[in-house]
Every structure is written in C-alpha cells, then in structure tokens.
Amino acid sequence: MPIKWNDNILLVKTEDTYATDSTPVAADGVLATTVSFSPMEGQDVDRELEPHYIAAGGTIPIGLHGKMSFNVELAPSGSAGVAPAWGALLRACACAETIVATTSVTCNPVSGDHESVSIHFCIGRTRYVLLGTRGTVSLEFAA
C-alpha cells in the first residue's frame, strides 16, 4: 500500500518531564500547512578503516534528531480563557502561557528553562514520535 503525503496527522502535547512522551490524543491535533519533515538528521563520523579491497569507508551516525517545519494559522480557540490548539507549540518556542478562566489567554517570552512538547506525526500508517521538542517561531501577517 503506497504512503500518501497528504494523509498525515500532527498531534502536539506539552511534556510534564523533558523528553518523556506525553501521549497526545486526537484533541491535541494541530492544523498545519506546508509541512517539511526530515526524520533522521545528524552527522556521520568516519571510522577511518583501511580495507584491503575497494569499498566505501564505513561511517557511524551520531547526534541523530528529527527536524520539522510547518505553518499554523493564528486561529483562536473560540472561547475566552481557553488556549488555542497551537498554544503548546508556542510554549515549546520559549513562551509562557497565562490563562485567566473565562477571560483571556496571554503569551509572554521567557529567557530560559522553557517547556518541550511531544510530537506524534503520522503519515499513512507510519507514526514518527519526536520527544523533547523545542523550536523557534516567527509571526507573519498579511493584509
């Protein structure tokens, strides 16, 4: 069965402990566009072998990590005092979230010890799990 890129699901949930799976569920889904995903980034270290035959030199992968980028609409939750679906993403990008029940949700940048999220990214029947995820954010507004 072929895997179709447009058949994907992005689930994001804030972790209580860094790099411990918070097990996101359907309610933690995020609507993302222009998704780019590299499941295995890192470096290769040459083993410096001297084989007695003609072959490629052996390498060992180190520092493996996943890399993902995407766009998210700045859509509100629809209720005062309820964080939007993308709120967990902002918290993973060094922003603190303050919720006042039935009134407001505000986000402020923090300088250190910011939170991380678990990302479950499903493409077809394949699930990729990224733990201890932190990132960067940029806001773009069009007329």
- Please give the pLDDT value at position 51: 77
Residue 57 within a domain: no
> Mind listing the pLDDT tens digit for each residue in 47-72?
888 777 887 778 899 999 999 999 99
Q: Any idea how long the chain is?
A: 143
Total domains, the chain: 1
Residue 23 within a domain: yes
- Please give the pLDDT value at position 2: 65
For the chain, percent of residues with pLDDT exceeding 90: 70
CA–CA distance, 85 with 13 (Å, rounded to integer): 10
**Domain of residue 102, residue span:** 8-30+71-133
Residue 18 within a domain: yes
Residue 90 within a domain: yes
Q: How many helices (H) and strands (E) does the chain have?
A: 1, 7
Ranges under pLDDT 70 in the chain: 1-3
Q: Supply the pTM of this predicted model.
A: 0.85
Residue 20 within a domain: yes
